[in-house]
Structure 1
Amino acid sequence: MQRYLMNFNTRNMETRTTECLVVGSGVAGLTAAVRLARRGHHVLLAVRDTLSDSNTAKAQGGIAAAFGKDDNPALHLQDTLTAGAGLSDEAVSHLVVTEGPDDIRWLADNGAEFDRTADGSLALGREGCHSRHRIVHSHGDATGAEVARALNVLAATEPNIRTLEGCYIVDLLTHEGRCYGATALWHGRKICLRAQHIVLATGGLGRLFLHTTNPEGATGSGAALAARAGAALADMEFVQFHPTALALSGCPNFLISEAVRGAGAHLLNLDGKRFMPALHPMAELAPRDVVARCIFQEMTKANATHIWLDARHIKDAAKLFPMIAATCREYGVDIEKDLIPIAPAAHYMMGGIETDTWGRTNLKGLYACGEAACTGLQGANRLASNSLLEGLVFGRRVATIIGKTRLSQADSGLYWQEESLAETPLELVAEDSSLSQQIMSRYLGITRNATELACGEEKLRNLAKRYEGCAAHTPEELDLRARLTCDLLIVKAALRRQESRGAHYRSDFPEKDDAYRKHFSDKWQVYDDAKNINDEKIAAASIGFAL
């Protein structure tokens, strides 16, 4: 694997130094940044686009937590383990469901407004595979937007946080098992960011596929740069496809929240008949992997690009789900009168950068949280609305452990360089980005088998060879390289797991196999490139700033 993606030399680069570098502006990254700042740490928040652009802002359903009178963390734990198909780590799941309610209270105490009942208690919805109503939500179906808004306000007003918008992290800088910072592109300039602690909260990788609910930046950049630096990655075969994304020609893959089915909406085939009750005892509220596969099968049988979601019988559906209703109306669908055309779309990555229960990776000084991380909570199939919960819990836990960790100052006597990379064939980047998405959707989608996986792997390797040894200069080039790295990680993991479990379904191995009831972790051998130079030379070449 190519170690670095651009030509650089940290001896003569603009350098910014901070105590904590946090990468990402979703719930996990912002929680970590705010919590760190409030503990007195100086934080540099690196955001590839703007502070308000993240997967979190698009999350509709809510945050799962046991607040109901008929609910408790033990029940939430059991539902999490059931959805995870035998791979959710029980200890990690237990700490998330027990600590999570206090993190939601913290968020509410710090400005987040959640929907409440007449007596002032939290209004709770229900989603797939949940045995109780436990989904905390805001403005019906705009929970993520409210969480993002509240955290953005906190981050923007915290004096210990300095934000670099438009900052694309290119590579991590490591030496002898420790991470010392990163190289980045900031408005077209190459810069070096030195830090004692680096937190990756870069989100998911839905954009590896043609049809996804994820924003443009969800290309797996965090997982890719961590892999190149020698961090361990786990469970990369488990990509969740959300069952119900709006499927209209010319319309983006807009998510139709699982909460709509939680409120009673039915799935209908093109003949107008329900099919889920005959396929699973929980019908439309079965685990997401089950529902997505059943929809895919109905579409395949009918040679169709969609089936129907029927919410017409739900009282005041437009009031319950105002954002969904408004978006559907924009494309000519009235959810209270019309059937909604839907199809599955790539949605969430259960795997990622492997961490312990505090978000620590195998590289000293490097942490990961949120969708970029693999904590063991999500197992083979994420339970609905556990994602924002995990981001809150692990954003806080990362901040806590950093506060208890004493590392020496980043060694300014080290420098890194790569000056031998060739030019990228720019004319191929856009075409190959689209081609990689087509390959992933065709060969690594909802159903898989050895023949198609091997074919997909060969095609992806041939694509990747075009860029081996080449430098990247733009976010588009870097996104393609991240895609190809993650593509190959996923296909390798999918070929290795010869069973069907959760979101990973092999038609040639359709049953679970206890021999595979374990996590697989991958780590590349990386050779440290750091060199030593005189401290005065580093100081002369650096542009620092105080926080």
Structure 2
Amino acid sequence: MQLQALQELVHKTRDARRKQTLPKFPANERDTLIKKYHPDSRENAYRPIKFGPNAGELTVRELAALLEGDSPVPADLDLTPNYSVDVLVVGGGGAGSAAALHAHAHGAKVLLATKLRLGDSNTVMAQGGIQIAITDEDSPVQHFLDTLKGGHMKNDHRLLKTMVEEGPSIAKWLLDLGVLFDRDPDGNLHVKKGGGSSKPRLLTCSDYTGLEIMRVLKDEVLNKKIQLLEFSAAVELLSDGEGTCTGAVLQDLDNKRFVVVVAKAVILATGGIGRLHIQGFPTSNHYGATGDALPMAYRIGAKLLQIDTFQYHPTGAVYPEQLIGALVTEGIRSEGGHLVNAKGERFVNELDTRDVVSSSIIRECEEGRGVRTVTGRIGVWLDTPLLDLEHGPGTLEKHFPAMVRQFKRYGLDITKDPVLIYPTLHYQNGGVQIDVNGESGVRHLFVAGEASGGLHGRNRLMGNSLLDLMVFGKRAGTTAAERAKAMKHGKLTLEHLARFRAEARKHSGALAVRSPMLFPDYVRKE
């Protein structure tokens, strides 16, 4: 059946579907569904890590190769510093910018180094909103419980308690900086309900919340005249030889020259891992999301946490081809959009947790109820026109202007026709293990944002990533700056790298690739 005919089925079944109420899966059915269909459950996608702090633990093959990979830095590199600072922040997205701003506010001399340009990050692609408990009907306790349930009870309670309790102060900080959150007609902040949440607590800026937050953070970094190095990728950390991080080696992407930075504290905020295209999945992540923090932190001795679990956002675009993997915001489902299979049927409560919804979509496709494109891709429908019927004409244009324009570029009007979607690799649930101040197990090495692990458990609730960035970016920046006041710079060595290489040579296949990889390799193999 042609796509157009299948679209018509969505229109024909709309009235009947509007009368339905689908319950969420009970706990035992949820677990069975996830174990059978979620990509995290595919055993052949994983292997044990051969050596290092996480030796013997399972992770996806793509990441294992990078953790065991070799640094591009030669053993005899001249470590005479090119820059000497109190705090080096690596990464120019939301977490890195927040860390740099708070470190600067506490008197530190800060250098912010970013692989691409300031703001080029997954933060700008976050559409759905930021979860913060601010209403009288809600509370940080309820936010805590929702997140704990969504993370399958595997969240680090200390990190989670810190995040939800500091949410309201983060909202005030962002408002004071100038973030233009949506408001109700009475002027109060507008809140929406997200998947897996028991109360409405999403603060939004239409469907470009992350972009709006990053706009303000970027302006603030530039206004404060924080020293900035763009197109300068971190490729190795430096240590004093006794377990303390003392700086990093950057690589100038223009001339490939190594740049040595001595710092009293280093904050890694390099973001996620989507461009590894784990298990061949498309991704919603930006071009530079190659998990750079993980191999660097691993080589210096930092423990990683929950690196066997990744989030596949339920609604990534399948058609047109130019948008494959691009995020179709969860806000559509929050406003009432239905997921519909090739038979015109709903099959899951659209506001269940992301792992449940993604697993349900994969099940429909694997059991023959998916919609196939002429190029062989498969997905299910997201009934976007339903929003204008439910909430009045113009709702999509008003609440999701960026997405409407994005699809119109390719001749698709999502106010009139549904969108074809399939899960897309979206988020790295685990990462470097940290404490409540963002410090890893390596002294003076901090990690903030998606590169860290433990907060979200085995599944992240929508809207918690932006709050994570702000809370732990702030804490890492503040702690690093305060600590730097009572410190001197340590010596610079690559002794940890020498030990890593010596251990790697004992294991077949180690050091086979260079890491961090920095950019995906999309060159066609002839």
Q: Is TM-score (shorter-chain normalized) higher than 0.5?
A: yes
- Aligned partner of 1:409 among 473, 481, 488: 488
Q: Distance between the aligned counterparts of 1:17 and 1:41, measured in 2?
A: 12
2:164 alignment partner in structure 1: 97
Q: Distance between the aligned counterparts of 1:124 and 1:116, measured in 2?
A: 8
Are residues 1:251 and 2:251 paired? Answer: no
Q: Distance between the aligned counterparts of 1:113 and 1:268, measured in 2?
A: 34
Q: State the SS of the aligned residue for 1:405.
A: helix
Q: Distance between the aligned counterparts of 2:497 and 2:137, measured in 1?
A: 59
Q: State the SS of the aligned residue for 2:488.
A: coil
Aligned-pair distance for 1:10?
A: 4.3
Q: Is the 8 A contact 1:350 1:371 kept in 2?
A: yes
Aligned-pair distance for 1:181?
A: 0.8
**Aligned counterparts, 1:465-476, within 5 A:** 468=512
2:384 alignment partner in structure 1: 311
**Aligned counterparts, 1:125-524, within 5 A:** 125-138=192-205, 140-159=206-225, 161-174=226-239, 175-186=241-252, 187=254, 188-209=256-277, 210-252=281-323, 253-276=325-348, 283-302=349-368, 304=372, 305-315=378-388, 316-374=395-453, 376-406=454-484, 408-412=487-491, 468=512, 478-479=518-519
Q: Distance between the aligned counterparts of 1:413 and 1:367, measured in 2?
A: 18
1:58 alignment partner in structure 2: 125
> CA separation of 1:2/1:84 partners in 2, compared to 1, >3 Å: closer, same or farther?
closer
Q: Distance between the aligned counterparts of 1:110 and 1:287, measured in 2?
A: 32
Aligned-pair distance for 1:180?
A: 0.9
Q: Distance between the aligned counterparts of 2:302 and 2:208, measured in 1?
A: 35
Aligned amino acid, residue 334 of structure 1: D
Q: Distance between the aligned counterparts of 1:238 and 1:97, measured in 2?
A: 22
Q: Distance between the aligned counterparts of 2:150 and 2:493, measured in 1?
A: 46
**Aligned counterparts, 1:74-89, within 5 A:** 74-89=141-156
Q: Is the 8 A contact 2:299 2:497 kept in 1?
A: no
Q: State the SS of the aligned residue for 2:387.
A: coil
- Please give the TM-score of this superposition, normalised by the length of structure 2: 0.77
Q: Distance between the aligned counterparts of 1:478 and 1:35, measured in 2?
A: 27
1:69 alignment partner in structure 2: 136
Q: Distance between the aligned counterparts of 1:359 and 1:198, measured in 2?
A: 11
Q: Distance between the aligned counterparts of 1:275 and 1:148, measured in 2?
A: 36
Aligned-pair distance for 1:358?
A: 0.8
Aligned-pair distance for 1:202?
A: 0.5
> CA separation of 1:208/1:413 partners in 2, compared to 1, >3 Å: closer, same or farther?
closer
Aligned-pair distance for 1:399?
A: 2.1
Q: Distance between the aligned counterparts of 1:333 and 1:2, measured in 2?
A: 43
Q: Is the 8 A contact 2:449 2:465 kept in 1?
A: yes
> CA separation of 1:342/1:471 partners in 2, compared to 1, >3 Å: closer, same or farther?
closer
Q: Distance between the aligned counterparts of 1:236 and 1:297, measured in 2?
A: 24
Aligned-pair distance for 1:109?
A: 0.1
Deviations 1:298-342 (A, max 9, x none): 111126411100021212222211111111222232222101100
Aligned-pair distance for 1:409?
A: 1.9
- Please give the TM-score of this superposition, normalised by the length of structure 1: 0.74
Q: Is the 8 A contact 2:104 2:481 kept in 1?
A: no
Aligned-pair distance for 1:89?
A: 2.4
Q: Distance between the aligned counterparts of 2:299 and 2:496, measured in 1?
A: 15
Aligned amino acid, residue 346 of structure 2: R
Q: State the SS of the aligned residue for 1:172.
A: strand
Q: State the SS of the aligned residue for 2:82.
A: strand
Aligned-pair distance for 1:2?
A: 5.0
Q: Is the 8 A contact 1:237 1:351 kept in 2?
A: yes
Aligned alpha-carbon RMSD (Å): 2.4
Q: Distance between the aligned counterparts of 1:177 and 1:134, measured in 2?
A: 42
Aligned-pair distance for 1:37?
A: 0.5
Q: Is the 8 A contact 2:276 2:520 kept in 1?
A: no
Structure 2 gaps of 5+ residues are: 1-67, 373-377, 389-394, 502-506, 522-526
Q: How many residues align?
A: 428
Q: Distance between the aligned counterparts of 1:141 and 1:301, measured in 2?
A: 33
Aligned-pair distance for 1:104?
A: 1.5
Aligned-pair distance for 1:107?
A: 1.1
Q: Is the 8 A contact 1:64 1:134 kept in 2?
A: yes
Aligned-pair distance for 1:417?
A: 10
Aligned-pair distance for 1:70?
A: 1.7
> CA separation of 1:82/1:183 partners in 2, compared to 1, >3 Å: closer, same or farther?
same
1:508 alignment partner in structure 2: none
Q: Is the 8 A contact 2:262 2:492 kept in 1?
A: no
The more displaced of 357-366 and 297-306 is 297-306
Structure 1 gaps of 5+ residues are: 277-282, 423-460, 482-547
Q: Distance between the aligned counterparts of 2:497 and 2:355, measured in 1?
A: 43
Aligned-pair distance for 1:414?
A: 5.1
Q: Distance between the aligned counterparts of 1:92 and 1:193, measured in 2?
A: 30
Q: State the SS of the aligned residue for 1:251.
A: helix
Q: Is the 8 A contact 1:256 1:324 kept in 2?
A: yes
Aligned-pair distance for 1:249?
A: 4.3
Aligned-pair distance for 1:6?
A: 2.5
Q: Is the 8 A contact 2:246 2:491 kept in 1?
A: no
Aligned amino acid, residue 173 of structure 1: L
Aligned-pair distance for 1:412?
A: 4.5
The more displaced of 232-241 and 322-331 is 322-331
